[in-house]
Amino acid sequence: MSGLVLMLAACAGPRADIPVNPENFGIADPVPVQMASEDYRINALDKFKMTVFRVPDLTGDFQVELSGVVNFPLIGSQKVTGLTSAELASQLERAYGARYIRDPQIAINMTEVTRQQVLVGGSVTTPGLYEVVGSSNLLRIVSRAAGPNDTANPSRVIVFRQISGQRNAAAFDYKRISAGLDPNPTIYPGDEIIVDGSEVKAALRDALSVIPLLGVFQAVNGI
């Protein structure tokens, strides 16, 4: 059974074991890494090697924090997300050249980059995968999918997240969050957001017509 069907099944009705509007849902696990092209723009959690020619003490491996910054020796925190490797190298050459090194030559080589995407599905206007940098929030991501559609039940939105190697889920009330009555939860790369609605229930009925009921509940309880 596909992951989408499992998510639809989980949204079809209340589940006692799915927390509602939890204060601390937990930080998502890093998503699988891939190699970067020359025009790739750096994201949170990416890893790279900085080589400072003729200054081996400054050469080293770094990882971008969720906030999008890296703490470099001598020059401190630098915002790096959204830059290419060449643009970051130029920024660092200016920073080191201003106070510490005469005519620095710096190379940035990406070693690991993360797939910064969030899946938005269910009863939204434009379901699909959406790019994020670092972290975002539920309202912003759902708005990028053009918001809940006419068949949606925006009072029930399920967020699926991988935490410590385990599949987790939490329910949120999009209407209350939009009204400022509930906190706007953080969304991380790799999260999956499903908005409840009649389209979700129809898909679930179709799935149940060909899949044994017990198998569905076993699968859902295992995610």
What is the number of structural domains in the chain?
2
Residue 66 — very low, low, confident or very high, per pLDDT cuts 50/70/90?
Answer: confident
Report yes or no: 29 and 162 within 8 Å, Cβ to Cβ. yes
| Mean per-residue pLDDT over the chain, rounded | 79
Domain range spanning residue 135? 3-32+115-222
**Per-residue confidence (pLDDT) for residue 201, from 0 to 100:** 64
When pLDDT is averaged across residues 16-41 and rounded to a whole number, the result is 69
Q: Is residue 201 located within the same domain as residue 216? A: yes
When pLDDT is averaged across residues 91-115 and rounded to a whole number, the result is 92
DSSP secondary structure letters along 160-177: EEEETTEEEEEEE-HHHH
Q: Is residue 25 located within the same domain as residue 123? A: yes
Is the confidence at residue 184, as pLDDT, over 70? yes
Is the confidence at residue 2, as pLDDT, over 50? no
Other Cβ atoms closer than 10 A to 108: 21
- CA end-to-end span of the chain: 12
Structure pTM? 0.54
| CATH number of the domain enclosing 131 | 3.10.560.10
Q: Is residue 120 located within the same domain as residue 104? A: no
Q: Which residue has the higher pLDDT, 149 or 114?
A: 149
Other Cβ atoms closer than 10 A to 153: 18
What pLDDT digit, counting tens, does each position of 104-145 carry? 999 999 988 766 788 898 899 999 888 886 678 999 999 999
When pLDDT is averaged across residues 24-32 and rounded to a whole number, the result is 70
